[in-house]
Structure formats: structure tokens, C-alpha cells
Amino acid sequence: MPIKKELLEILVCPLCKNKVKIVGADKLICTNDECGTIYPIEDGIPNMLPPDLR
């Protein structure tokens, strides 16, 4: 199940507050080169918890 475009437009990285972009069909990545945190997408729902809290 793909992530909705409307959702992608409002999501930001919880660590640095920059936008995220979709990579492939199963993950989001922070667009800030210094952060670059990857967030998995499971069943069309992004897991936006920081890595140490997953």
C-alpha cells in the first residue's frame, strides 16, 4: 500500500524538522544531509519514531 501524497507533504523528520522524501516503496529519508535518518513504511504507515525509540 503506497503512502498518500498528502501525508508525504506534511511529514517532517522528528529529529531535525526537515522534510522527508520517499525512497523506494518502503522507507522515508530525511532530506537534511547532516541528519539523513531513515524511517520505515509498514503497510502504508510511516514509523516516524526516532531510531532509538523503535
Q: Looking at the predicted structure, is the pLDDT value of residue 2 above 80?
A: no
Closest CA to 23 of 10, 35, 6, 36: 36
- Tell the CATH topology of 5-53: N-terminal domain of TfIIb (2.20.25)
Q: Which pLDDT band, with edges at 50, 70 and 90, does 1 fall under?
A: low
Q: What is the pLDDT of residues 4-50, one digit of tens each?
A: 888 889 999 999 999 999 998 899 999 999 999 999 998 888 999 99
pTM listed for this prediction: 0.85
Using only C-alpha atoms, the chain has a radius of gyration, in whole angstroms, of 10
Q: Do 18 and 35 meet the contact criterion of CB atoms below 8 Å apart?
A: yes
Domains of the chain, by residue range, sit at: 5-53
Q: Do 45 and 2 meet the contact criterion of CB atoms below 8 Å apart?
A: no
Compare 3 and 6 and report the one with higher pLDDT: 6
Q: What is the pLDDT of residue 43?
A: 86
Cβ neighbours of residue 17 closer than 8 Å, sequence gap 6 or more: none
